Amino acid sequence: MIFKTKLSNIFGPNSPIIGSIFVGIGVITIFTTWKAIFIILAGMFFGFSKRVAIIDTAKRRVKTLEVYGGIIPVGKWIAVDSSMSLGYKSINEGFTMRSLSNRQVSVSETKFALILYDQTDMPIMTLMKFDSQIELQFQMEKFSELLNIPM
C-alpha cells in the first residue's frame, strides 16, 4: 500500500495564493500579448511547488519528492531496513507579517513530525506532519507495524 502526504510548500505558506494570482493575471493578459505565458509559468512554479513524502509499505521503501510546478517530481527511493527506526519531533513553525504601517502580526503553531532515523539515530527524512500528538502516536504504531521497524 502506498501512502502519499504533503509536507510543505517549497516557497512558504503564501506561495499558493501568489501563484494563483500570477496565473490569473497571465490568463487575462494572454489575449493581449504572448509574453503572458511567462507570467503563467512563473505562477505555476511558485503556486504549485510542494514537498511530498511517499511511503510504500509493500516494497518497504520511502521517498521524499520536491514537485516543481505541480508537474516535475524530483527525488529518489530509500530502502527501509530493520536497523532503522521511527521517532517524532515537535516543530514550532512561526510566520511574521508586516504591513506598510509598521504593524507586525506573528502566528505560531506547534506540529509534530514523524521521522525516519538510521541505525545511529540520525534523521533520514520526515515522513508525515500532524497537528496532535495522539494522531502522531496512532500513525507511528501503524507504520512501525507495516514497515516492520521499531519505534
pTM value is 0.78
Amino acid 146: pLDDT: 87
Rg (CA), the chain: 19
* pLDDT reading at 9 higher than 90: no
Grid cell listed for 30 = 494572454
Q: Residue 38's closest CA among 25, 52, 26?
A: 26
Question: How many whole angstroms separate alpha carbon 135 and alpha carbon 119?
Answer: 25
Domain positions in the chain are 1-79, 81-151
pLDDT digits (tens, 9 = 90+) for 84-102: 889 889 988 777 777 788 8
pLDDT digits (tens, 9 = 90+) for 24-77: 999 999 999 888 999 999 999 999 999 999 999 888 899 999 999 888 999 999
Three-state DSSP state, 143: helix
